[in-house]
Amino acid sequence: MSSSQFTSTHSHSAETPRLKSKPMATLEDLPPELMTRIFTLQADGKHIVESGAFFNLRLASRRLYNNMKDSFMQRYIKCRKHMLSRHSLEVLEQLSLHFPDDVQELTIGGEHVNKYFAERMIRYSELRPAKDEVKEDWSKKFGPAHAKLVEDQSKLYKSGDAEQILVRVFKNLKNLKKVHIDKYHDEP
C-alpha cells in the first residue's frame, strides 16, 4: 500500500497507520424507498422538493434518475387532472399510451378557455395606472392567441373529438381505479 492511504494517529508514531475516513454519504447513497418517501412527501399540501428542483435532481445522475422513478410516477403519473381542451386531452392520450399501467386516478376538470377573458383583460388594463413597462395593449399582444384557443375549444365541443379521445384513453388505461368529473363553477 502506498503511504498516501494511511494517516498517522500520532504525529510522532509512523507505526500506527489509520485508513482515511469514508467520504460523507450523498443523496445517491440513499435507498430508493427512502428517496420515494422524501420526494413524494408533502407538508401542508405542498411537496417538500418543488417540481423544478425535482426535475433537476433527476438530471444530476443516472442513479438518481433511476432511484426517483417511483417518486416521479406517484407525483406526475398516478393521479392526473386534465381539462376539456384539445391540448390537454391529447397529452392525456399520449400518457395513456406510454403509461397504460400506471395511471390510477383521473380527474376531468370543467375548466375551459373563458371567451370573455379578453374583454376583462382589456377593461382591467384600462383601469390600471399607466406604467410603460406594465401597461400593454393586451388585445394586440394576446388577443389573437386567445381567440384561437376559444375557437379550438368550440370546435372540439362541436366535433365530438373530446368524447372519442376519452374513449381511447379509457381503453388504454388498464389500472384506472377512479374517475372524477368536475363541473365548472358557473354550471348548475
Q: Give the residue extent of every domain in the chain.
A: 78-187
Residue 119 has pLDDT above 80, yes or no: no
Q: Are 122 and 138 in contact (CB under 8 A)?
A: yes
Q: Is the pTM of this model over 0.85?
A: no
Give me the mean pLDDT over the 14-26 stretch: 73
List alpha helices for 19-142, DSSP H: 32-40, 51-60, 62-67, 69-72, 86-98, 117-127, 138-141
Q: What is the pLDDT of residues 122-166, one digit of tens each?
A: 666 666 655 554 446 667 788 888 889 889 989 998 999 999 999
The distance of Cα 23 from the centroid of its chain, to the nearest Å, equals: 34
Give me the mean pLDDT over the 96-119 stretch: 88
Cell of 55: 426535475
Residue 65 has pLDDT above 80, yes or no: yes
DSSP strand pairing (46-47 vs 79-83): unpaired
